[in-house]
Structure formats: structure tokens, C-alpha cells
Amino acid sequence: MTDTATGEILAEVHRGVGRILLNRPRALNALTTGMVVAVDRVLADWERIPLSAVVLASTSAKAFCAGGDIRTIREHSLAGDAEASERFFASEYRLNARIAEYPVPLVSLIDGVCMGGGLGLSVHGAFRVVTERAVLAMPETAIGFFPDVGASWFLPRLPGAIGMYLGLTGHRIDAADALYTGLATHFVPADGLDAVGDALADHPGDPVDVVLNRLAGRSPVAESELATVRGDVDQAFGAPALGEIHRRLRRLGTPWATAALAALESASPQSLEITHALLAGGRQRTLRACLDAELALTRTTIRTPDFLEGVRAALVDKDRTPRWQGASLGAGTLPS
């Protein structure tokens, strides 16, 4: 494997298959500017050589990628250097767009945590393989941010109102849910992941889909929990406004609705407003236009008290009790 300058990503070509490994395991592969630029450069280089596939994976057994390095983004904002973060987001979204348009089938192996920027690396590619240890989420409303990396394009394109549900609540889903929603395309048991690269190299003429299906083995994937609450998800999160989503969840009163309400109550009210508007608008936008809209939003959001406070509570002090600027939706600030 060729080390890039920092060693935070590793890249090699073997028998016509490119392999990129995210290698910042102590931070659950949270993406730095260096990692994003390095992956982008490798993919750009590999557009000029004939490859049958590119595999994107991780050296960590715990995580594919936990998201962006938002701890550093917060530090830049506090130090008055938000411009450094703007360079990060611009590079990250350029990479998301390159992945979406990549001429060679890109296969992400999602074993462990895949959140935020991790979904940006994987969902825009042709194939997303999940294992029994996969946990996927867009958890940004919990840190005073909003679902980015093209989420305003891919969340509204999930079935029914699932995308609005996942984007507003940050709900974590497993392999069965990921396959049900389409965020994942294939299941391969974790102990079968090492065979993916060789299988692709052994059968360069076979459709990638066929090769991945052969690796699924006999392991049955459990039933999707999301599928069992799909009617209520669509009913509540299909509402045209946040206040109405709230009312419909209260009216449902089921355990699922109560949990969803609790997630909305603990999220940043500012983030919920931004996210609802962004995802509603994303339906009519191209991916490029979505990424541009998100980039514009990052410039203001990373300077807000809610973002600084949200990252503090989740990742710096880890007290998980953020004090948001606005009152929560449930506190009676909206007409009910």
C-alpha cells in the first residue's frame, strides 16, 4: 500500500482493482482536509488508468467513517479562522460530486459506524456494502449543524418520508434498515469483506452487482424495523411544516412516535428549521445545486452559538446536554 503524506489514507492498485483505506482509526476516521484532498487526488489519478472497480474501506473495525473532523472545525471558528473550515467543506463536497460522477464502479465497505461525511463518501458511489456491524446516521441536528455532504439530494430521494425522518431526528439505522431504504445496496458478513477486492479482481468481466451478491453467503438479514413503522413515518414526517410533524407525532402516541419526539426535543431548534427547509428544497435540485446550497449554509452555520455549543456537548466536554439558543419545539414556542 502506498502511504499518502500523512498516512491518514492508504491507496493501492492490485490486479485492476483500486483500494483506498481510511486510516485515522483513533478518531473513527473523522475526515480531515488532508484526508479529503488525498482521496480526491487518488481518485483523479485513477480516472486515467483502466480499473474494473474501486473499493473504499477502513482500517478500523469500529468505523467506516464517523463524519467530518468537526472538533477541528469548531476550533477554527473559535480562533476566528472559519475560512479554514470553508476550505474543508468545499474540498469535501467536491469529492462527494466526484464520487457521484465516477466513471468506475465505486464500492464502499461499511463495517461499523458510518455517519455524516461517511455517508457522503459512500452513498454517492455505485455500491454500498453493509455488514452486521454497520450503523448509519445523519446525526447533525444533535450538534447544531445540518445534514450535508449531499444529504439534501439523497435524503429526499429515499422512499416516502424516511429521509426527512432520518435527517431531522438523526435516527441510527442498521444493515437491514440501510438495505430497506436503499442507502445500502448489498450485505456481506464482516468476515467476508477481505474477499471483496479479490472477487472483483477475479471476475473483472462480471457485473459488480453479481460479484457482491455471491459474497452475501447464507446469512439472513433481519427484518427492517423501519419497514414496520413506515406508515407512521410517512404520515408524520410527510407533514408540510415542522410544527405539524410535531403535532402528528403527539397524536400517534406510539413508542416509535414518542422516541421520535424525544429526538426532536433534544435537537437544536435552529438545525431543525434549516434541515426541514433544506430537505424540502432538495427535491427539486440537482446534486451539484444541493452541494452548492449546503456549502453556502456551512458559512453561516459554523459561526453560530448552537454549532459551537453542540460540538462542545457531543465531542469536547461530552456532557451531552447542549443549551440551545432557541427554545425547543415542544416548549410552546410554536402555535399548537
Type of residue numbered 3:
D
Which residue lies nearer to ligand QUE by CB, 153 or 187?
153
d(CA 34, CA 6): 8
DSSP state of 223: P
Q: Check residue 71 for interaction with ligand QUE (CB under 6 A).
A: yes
Which of the following is catalytic: 8, 40, 69, 140? 140
Q: Check residue 125 for interaction with ligand QUE (CB under 6 A).
A: no
Q: Check residue 143 for interaction with ligand QUE (CB under 6 A).
A: yes
Show the cell assigned to 28. 473513527
Q: Check residue 116 for interaction with ligand QUE (CB under 6 A).
A: yes
**From the CB of 113, what's the least distance to ligand QUE, in Å?**
8
Let me know if 18 is a catalytic residue.
no
On whether the CB atoms of residues 122 and 149 are closer than 8 A, the answer is no
Which residue lies nearer to ligand QUE by CB, 40 or 69?
69
Which of the following is catalytic: 148, 294, 306, 309? 148
* Neighbouring residues of 28: CB distance < 8 A, sequence distance ≥ 6: 60, 62, 63, 65, 66, 112, 113
Q: Check residue 151 for interaction with ligand QUE (CB under 6 A).
A: no
Q: Nearest 10 degrees: CA dihedral of 281, 162, 310, 100?
A: -60
Task: Out of 9, 10, 21, 30, name the contact with ligand QUE by CB under 6 A.
Answer: 30
- Secondary structure class of 63 (helix, strand, coil): strand
Could you tell me which of 318, 331, 333 has the C-alpha nearest to residue 142? 318
Site string for ligand QUE, 8-27 (x = CB under 6 A): -------------------x
Task: Considering only the stretches 137-145, 197-205, 224-232, 252-260, report the one whose residues sit in contact with ligand QUE under the rule CB under 6 A.
Answer: 137-145
**From the CB of 221, what's the least distance to ligand QUE, in Å?**
26
d(CA 121, CA 9): 13
Kindly state the helix (H) or strand (E) to which residue 21 belongs, with its residue range.
strand 17-22
On whether the CB atoms of residues 68 and 30 are closer than 8 A, the answer is yes
**From the CB of 32, what's the least distance to ligand QUE, in Å?**
10
Let me know if 174 is a catalytic residue.
no
Task: Out of 109, 142, 264, 279, name the contact with ligand QUE by CB under 6 A.
Answer: 142
Let me know if 40 is a catalytic residue.
no
Kindly state the helix (H) or strand (E) to which residue 113 belongs, with its residue range.
strand 113-115
Q: Check residue 112 for interaction with ligand QUE (CB under 6 A).
A: no
Which of the following is catalytic: 18, 34, 67, 68? 68
Which residue lies nearer to ligand QUE by CB, 69 or 111?
69
Which of the following is catalytic: 67, 112, 117, 282? 117
Residue 311: alpha-carbon gap to chain centroid: 17
Show the cell assigned to 168. 431531522
Q: Check residue 120 for interaction with ligand QUE (CB under 6 A).
A: no
Let me know if 140 is a catalytic residue.
yes
Task: Considering only the stretches 15-23, 74-82, 140-148, 214-222, report the one whose residues sit in contact with ligand QUE under the rule CB under 6 A.
Answer: 140-148
Could you tell me which of 178, 7, 214, 186 has the C-alpha nearest to residue 108? 186
On whether the CB atoms of residues 306 and 268 are closer than 8 A, the answer is yes
Could you tell me which of 280, 263, 279 has the C-alpha nearest to residue 328? 263
Residues numbered 273-332 forming contacts with ligand QUE, rule: CB under 6 A? 314-315
Which residue lies nearer to ligand QUE by CB, 125 or 310?
310
**From the CB of 183, what's the least distance to ligand QUE, in Å?**
16
Could you tell me which of 186, 252, 251 has the C-alpha nearest to residue 219? 186
| Interacting residues toward ligand QUE by CB under 6 A | 27-28, 30, 66-71, 115-116, 139-140, 142-143, 314-315
